[in-house]
Structure 1
Amino acid sequence: MIELDHVIVNARDRVASARLLASLLDVPWDETALGIFSAVYVNPGLTLDFITTDEDFPVEHFCFRVSDAEFDAILKRLEDAGIGWRGDVRGRNDGKVGTAHGGRNIYWDEPDKHRWEILTKSYARRPG
């Protein structure tokens, strides 16, 4: 089986971006992993390595499948942090929760414009 180990995420401020995501997901992070990264340890098999750059970079989309309890907790942390969200991938933050595909999902944009998503039921799995 092939598993994704880590992803490098470009940021204007790697520490601030990593700290924010780690706090919202309630996962550990390391401000100076390998000296140039701020690592967010999403789970035992996946790390997001934030790196600071002044170069242009594309907006990326990252989606995390979570339990219903984790969904509720993350939604509360977004609310407490004053970060808006929406139930659709595009559009304005309207505070709505998407319910397509038999689960719940929301999207929010972080300061560098990367688009984060949490969902309780994957719609990206291969059928069967």
Structure 2
Amino acid sequence: MPITLTVSEGVLSAEAEAQALAGLTDALLDVAGLTGNAFMAANIVGSINVLPKGRVLAGGKPVTAAFVELKLPEIALADSEAKRAFIEKATDIVEKAAGGQLKREHIWSNIVYAPEGAWGIAGTSYNNADLVGAIAASSVGQA
């Protein structure tokens, strides 16, 4: 489940970038109720884009900002409360990682969904039932 973190240059150190992405991964696992699920943990991937100053705008003017985009199969985080919880956690994580270099109102998040059957892992296309099955199989024996 890809997480893309895009930030203005100078907002996060290399260490803070890694900590933020790890925190976003943990937040997703937590709100999905899948902390400790090996299949899910291994398939949450992330990338960080650092854009030069002046290349991020809000209201048509340059700002220091961050964007968190989460891509999921359409069955994931279907509950509105889970979506709200992820966005709140994501904002907190990025704000903390920025260490005062970023205004909270300049952190935006969104969640986008892949259509049924359009989720691929290791060359295998998963439909919703197959994905749920793989997640559940990984949970067997975990408490």
TM range, smaller chain: 0.3 to 0.5
- TM-score, scaled relative to structure 2: 0.31
Structure with the bigger percentage of strand: 1
Which gives a bigger RCO, structure 1 or 2 (Cα 8 Å, sep 6+)?
A: 2
The structure that has the greater radius of gyration is: 2
Structure with the bigger percentage of helix: 2
